[in-house]
Amino acid sequence: MSEIDRVRWHCRRGMLELDLVLSRFMDAVYGALAESDRVAFSKLLEYPDNDLWDLVSARAEPEDLDVFEILKQVRAVAPKRAAG
Amino acid sequence: MGIPVRTFDAVVVGAGGAGLRAALQLAEADLRVAVLTKVFPTRSHTVAAQGGVAASLGNSEEDHWHWHMYDTVKGSDWLGDQDAIEFMCRKANEVVIELEHFGMPFDRTESGKIYQRPFGGHMSNFGEKPVSRACAAADRTGHAMLHALYQRNVRVHTQFFVEWMALDLIRDAEGAVLGVTAMEMETGEVCIFQSKATLFATGGSGRMYYSSTNAFINTGDGLGMTARAGLPIQDMEFFQFHPTGVYGAGILITEGVRGEGGVLRNASGERFMERYAPNAKDLASRDVVSRAMATEIKEGRGCGPNKDHVLLDLSHLDPKVIMQRLPGIREISMQFAGADPIKEPIPVVPTAHYQMGGIPTNYTGRVVAPRNGNPDAVVPGFYAAGECACASVHGANRLGTNSLLDLLVFGKAAGESVVEDIKALPKSPKDLPKDAADYSLARLARLDGQANGEGVHEVQLALRRAMQDHCGVFRFPDMLKQGVDKIMEVAGRVGRTEIKDKSKVFNTARIEALELDNLVEAAKATMVCAATRQESRGAQAREDFPERDDANWLKHTLWYRDGNRVDFRPVHLKPLTVETIELKKRVY
Ligand SMILES: Cc1cc2nc3c(=O)[nH]c(=O)nc-3n(C[C@H](O)[C@H](O)[C@H](O)COP(=O)(O)OP(=O)(O)OC[C@H]3O[C@@H](n4cnc5c(N)ncnc54)[C@H](O)[C@@H]3O)c2cc1C
């Protein structure tokens, strides 16, 4: 429990864009991830906010291949239509 | 009870731009400084700032701090304190050049000077024509600023307590501030940070609105702690709204979209801005557009099943324009509204963006609260800077790029004040009251012991809806009245929140419950002061009092938690050295 909570807290960012996407990912995907993917996700969270948003919104590609697969999953979290 | 006590010369709560700038001043003076922060410093909300920081460097055309001062006073709709505004505008060049020396990668002109561009409300020659005053580092100004300041702090061995949440202020019987209680998230351990000086730089409270451009972390913690300690918070009714935040998500859609030809439409597809601003239409100023949108929604012409938003339509534009001239907008719209703007309009709503009010301070960053007939009495040992503070330079309305300037100038000034004040104090800090941590421990015990309570998210949502519906961009008398009742009802529910998981280690549920305790204080202050102030000024737009009323309302509001009481303080109309900028109607 505590590890997932720690990761969840590390999804708290300075940019609202990331707060929204990352918390969506935590709710929908993280629980079912294999250990290696969880490690990769934690690595992804080490990126500075602006760089991370560029990666998530597919305006940049990562140089670090370790995060490549997990990034695809983050990008794939279904965009949410505004309620209403 | 054996609560551990850590003792420092100074404790800074918050590691965004304001906290880092203040800490640097303290550490460079060889004080023992602790900086507490909920998240890693460079993940503070300052990272989101893109537009730039204002300074009258005059690098591309003639400029002067006095012109900047004039714009800021006018922008504030005369509610800003003119001594603080003069101080800020005079210091702007110094703090920006300092930042350059700290390694901030500003954009440059061909001759190597800091490049400057125009920004709304910044003019030359006392309001004559727009001037280039904003200094930026591409679209990453806040990010670059945080990194430069953080690196600098590391060099001087500022001690960071990352993932520590401050809980409450500690005051003694005379009212002096002696430090804070705080909780380490990793262990759930509560500890006292005892200090001769306590400096708040906790940022804004934008999360109180349903639609907010602010990151989740902006829960007004400094305001909550201040209010619970019996001190007032000032001018909270003044909340700046951005007209185009994505409906349901809040992400800011830049004005540039309307600049490229995007138009706003109501439920019947009408381009309603033609009615409100026949000339400027969709490009009228932020407050005009926001109010028009709010009126459409209030009068039942909003879109969607709840008729609670309008549409930003770009579908008539050439897709190439959208892709090339508005990079990132399509991604944001698809990601957060599920709408591809090439084919369908983006649902948008006026969105809370910046809190002009906060903890009242003077221009040296010392917190003030009226005492014995003195409206400007200093609270010993307590300092504040940045968005959580109210110096007050933004008054009723902030100009873009003035907030990054505010946090640099007053972060530094507050740091200097601490250094000066500590010199005059005895070597050892004042004794802590025996019950210093009891209040915080009781709050935690309440939360752990709560049965039959409500979930934090549910109550938080009720709070944000109440603020959005009753205290938004345009304020209607009946709605405000109901809003005060509603927010007090929500406050009762906040006192009965329950968390299922009681573990000590990284318990985010507990952290969010504690954040809500803070957010509700900021929300009460905002709603109650908005209902109290019977005029329209800057960001406070009341349907029943459409004009500014200087005879009765040229004063700061002070909200006290005890008794939900509102008091007032005079505005400082006298600058430090120049003549008062006389009251005028604010027209552009
Ligand atoms: C999208 C967006 C764009 C903006 N662009 C601009 C711009 O271009 N120019 C401009 O001038 N302004 C801009 N602003 C406004 C400006 O970014 C903010 O007002 C400013 O960054 C606030 O800085 P701060 O240091 O006061 O607080 P923050 O940067 O919000 O930092 C607050 C700090 O306090 C800590 N904290 C909070 N509560 C606690 C607690 N209980 N215990 C421990 N630590 C705590 C946090 O961890 C954080 O470190 C923008 C705002 C937004 C939302």
CATH architecture of the domain with residue range A3-77: Orthogonal Bundle (1.10)
Which residues of chain B are within 8 Å of residue A21 when distances are taken between CB atoms? 335
Average pLDDT, chain A: 90
Please tell me the predicted confidence (pLDDT) of residue B54.
Answer: 96
Residues B196, B10: contact at Cβ < 8 Å?
Answer: yes
CA B386 centroid distance within chain:
8
Task: Output the pLDDT for position A82.
Answer: 42
User: Which is nearest to B462 in space by CA: B512, B541, B516?
Assistant: B516
d(CA B248, CA B88): 36
Comparing CA positions, the residue from B73, B70, B57, B75 lying closest to residue B117 is: B57
State percent of chain B over pLDDT 90. Answer: 87
B6 close to B29: Cβ distance less than 8 angstroms: no
Residue B286 a catalytic site member: yes
Band of residue B564 on the pLDDT scale cut at 50, 70, 90: very high
Count of all residues that appear for chain A in the document: 84
What is the predicted pLDDT for the residue at A79? 63
Domain locations along chain A:
3-77
pLDDT category of residue B331 using cuts at 50, 70 and 90: confident
Does residue B2 surpass a pLDDT of 90?
no
**Domains of chain B, start order:** 255-349 (3.90.700.10), 438-554 (1.20.58.100)
Question: A-side interface with B, Cβ within 8 Å?
Answer: 1-2, 5-6, 8-9, 12-21, 23, 48-50, 57-59, 79-84
Please give the number of the atom of ligand 1 that sits closest to the Cα of B202.
34
The pLDDT tens digits of the residues spanning B268-313 come to 999 999 999 888 888 887 788 998 999 999 899 999 999 999 999 9
Residue with tokens 């809003």: B483
- The complex scores an ipTM of 0.94
Say if residue A32's pLDDT is above 50.
Answer: yes
Chains A, B: CB pairs < 8 Å = 111
Contact in structure between B195 and B466 (CB atoms under 8 Å) = no
Q: What is the pLDDT of residue B557?
A: 98
User: Would you state the structure tokens that stand for residue B465, as one six-digit string?
Assistant: 């809806």
B66-77 pLDDT, tens digit per residue, is 999 999 999 999
